Amino acid sequence: MTIRSVILGTGSCLPERTMTNKDLEAIVDTSDEWIVQRTGIRERRIAADGQTTADMAIESARHALQAAGLHGADIDGVIVATSTPDTTFPSVAVKVQAALNICQGPAFDVHAVCAGFIYALTVADSLLRTGVARRLLVVGAEKMSSILNWEDRTTCVLFGDGAGALVLEAQEGRGEIADRGIISTHLHADGHLRDILYVNGGVSSTQTAGHIVMEGKEVFRHAVALMADVVTEAMSHNGIGPEEIDWLVPHQANIRIIEGTARKLDVRLDQVILTVDRHGNTSAASIPLALDEAVRDGRIQRGHLMLLEALGSGLTWGAALIRY
Ligand code: UT7
């Protein structure tokens, strides 16, 4: 018997405030035309002053529980992927646990930046498959606006805030690709590339939160190559070709990176879930936000095979093959 981690419900939370490219023209020397052409981003959501990462995580998790028809007491543990926690400790995950009255199983954050949701899914899948837990909430939540330098046009136009969540349950599978649930996950990191995308502050260095610093072109170059590698790895590990993939659900950093990966994979653009135009890059939240949108609007249906992929600071990157 094989245990599979099956998605029971999805949820998301986007802050009310929309910031358009036109709004950014009033803040830095940029233009709607440059941002759309280079990134595909038209607008992003920005959290209200008092609205924290945990607030968004809790709301997205509540919606995922509702979609699954479950209550907090039905859940064994919480994993939150985030790089923008409310406090250095305790974790965002324990706030979600307390707010939703989830029982006293594990609750912790995973910090792998834009690849964080794939990392969190992998940890959750391991806990479910080894019998440590039966149902887990996995959340990606970020308040990227709080680590942006609003005078740096090369970064502040790229990011947004939000959260997305999934409820996973351990169910019996047959060990086949036709099973519902997480089929496989693939994680990588290369710390030698940590200086091309980082935050210039932290608890043990500057005692400040710091701001995002990025060599965009270098990250772009690695992103196109490494994401193509990891999706190829996921397919060959499972002995499938691109024709078997129903949906590509990529990290939403840049439409040109997403199109590059889709081209290499030979996946049509109408098989790619895209939110980058409206959300910008929400780091660990971008994949669960995209997934929830496509599940709710009926594109992703039970039985569909999805390939999730992401790359972020570290560099960290990964992919997950999941049958919804
Ligand atoms: O989620 C984590 C992973 N992150 C990513 O995947 C991001 C990867 N990188 C990228 O998406 C792209 O590299 C960017 C969108 C960040 C930049 O696009 P680019 O085509 O690589 O542009 P560039 O950095 O080479 O800049 C081109 C020009 C420069 O001017 P000069 O030197 O040619 O005169 C920049 O100063 O565009 C200028 N520029 C801007 N102009 C208007 C940079 N930012 C802006 C801006 N508005 N916001």
3-state secondary structure 128-159: HHCCCCCEEEEEEEEEHHHHCCCCCHHHHCCE
Nearest to 246 by CA among 185, 324, 321, 305: 305
What are 163-202's pLDDT values in tens digits? Answer: 999 999 999 999 999 999 999 999 999 999 999 999 999 9
Which structure tokens are listed for 194?
Answer: 């940590």
pLDDT number for residue 92: 98
- Three-state SS sequence of 285-321: HHHHHHHHHHHHCCCCCCCCEEEEEEEECCCEEEEEE
What are 119-147's pLDDT values in tens digits? Answer: 999 999 999 999 999 999 999 999 999 99
What are 61-76's pLDDT values in tens digits? Answer: 999 999 999 999 999 9
Q: What is the whole-number distance in angstroms between the Cα of residue 155 and the centre of ligand 1?
A: 8
Nearest to 59 by CA among 299, 263, 289: 289
* Mean of pLDDT values over 27-32: 97
pLDDT number for residue 8: 98
Q: Is the CB of 278 under 6 A from ligand 1?
A: no
Q: What is the whole-number distance in angstroms between the Cα of residue 254 and the centre of ligand 1?
A: 10
Q: Is the CB of 312 under 6 A from ligand 1?
A: yes
Structural element, H or E, at residue 322: strand 316-323
Strands 17-20 and 43-46: antiparallel
Residues carrying CATH 3.40.47.10, the chain: 2-173, 181-323
pTM over 0.85: yes
pLDDT number for residue 265: 84
Give me the catalytic one of 114, 186, 211, 254: 114
Q: Is the CB of 217 under 6 A from ligand 1?
A: yes
* Mean of pLDDT values over 267-296: 97
35, 156 contact by CB (below 8 A):
no
Q: Is the CB of 168 under 6 A from ligand 1?
A: no
Separation of alpha carbons 15 and 302, rounded Å = 29
Separation of alpha carbons 40 and 2, rounded Å = 41
Structural element, H or E, at residue 11: strand 2-13
- Catalytic site residue 251? yes
pLDDT number for residue 216: 96
Separation of alpha carbons 210 and 215, rounded Å = 16
Cβ count within 10 A of residue 53: 29
Nearest to 194 by CA among 217, 211, 218, 210: 218
pLDDT number for residue 1: 82
Q: How confident is the model at residue 102 (pLDDT cuts 50, 70, 90)?
A: very high
Torsion of CA 204, 210, 216, 221, to 10 degrees: 30
Q: Is the CB of 34 under 6 A from ligand 1?
A: yes
pLDDT number for residue 103: 86
pLDDT number for residue 264: 83
Pocket test residue of 20, 23, 217 for ligand 1, highest count of atoms within 8 A of CB: 217
pLDDT number for residue 42: 98
Q: How confident is the model at residue 287 (pLDDT cuts 50, 70, 90)?
A: very high
Question: Where does 181-323 sit in CATH, by number?
Answer: 3.40.47.10
- Catalytic site residue 238? no
* Mean of pLDDT values over 97-118: 97
What are 216-241's pLDDT values in tens digits? Answer: 999 999 999 999 999 999 999 999 99
Give me the catalytic one of 63, 111, 211, 251: 251
- Topology (CATH) of 2-173: Peroxisomal Thiolase; Chain A, domain 1 (3.40.47)
Tell the residue nearest (CA) to atom 41 of ligand 1: 30
- Catalytic site residue 101? no
Q: What is the whole-number distance in angstroms between the Cα of residue 159 and the centre of ligand 1?
A: 13
